[in-house]
Amino acid sequence: MALLFAVLFFILQSAWLPALAQTPPPNDFTPIHATVVSVDRQQFTVDLRYATPGSGPVTRHTFALANHNDVLRLHPGAVVDGTADTTQKVWTLSNVNVESDKPLGGQASP
């Protein structure tokens, strides 16, 4: 019985471990194209609505801003690009580029 477990362990180890070693690490820095939902100027955070490629439905998430000066350029309705760092407890947005400072659909910003 012990020999059977040893053989099975060897087979599983030789088949699965190399495959696991070749698996690339998850992408912790994700490019994001989003619409600003809200901005908290005291906490230096921004609430974004976005869809990551291949993820399905639109998601809403709050990000801390890596560059606190970005809070001055953002307002609800603005369309932005950036890089999301998901390695932190609070996800962080960096490399923020305001693609359009006007809200979608020509609505006036609050």
pLDDT of residue 26: 45
pTM for the model stands at: 0.65
What confidence tens digit (pLDDT) does each residue in 33-54 have?
Answer: 999 999 999 999 999 998 866 6
Asked if residues 48 and 60 have their Cβ atoms less than 8 Å apart, the reply is yes
pLDDT classification of 75: cutoffs 50, 70, 90 = very high
CA distance to 47, 67, 75, 99, per residue, from 92 (Å): 11, 10, 17, 19
Domains of the chain (ranges; CATH) run: 29-104 (2.40.50.140)
Give the pLDDT confidence score for residue 13 in this predicted structure.
54
At 86, is the pLDDT very low, low, confident or very high (cuts 50, 70, 90)?
Answer: confident
Residue 93 · residue 48 · CB < 8 Å: yes
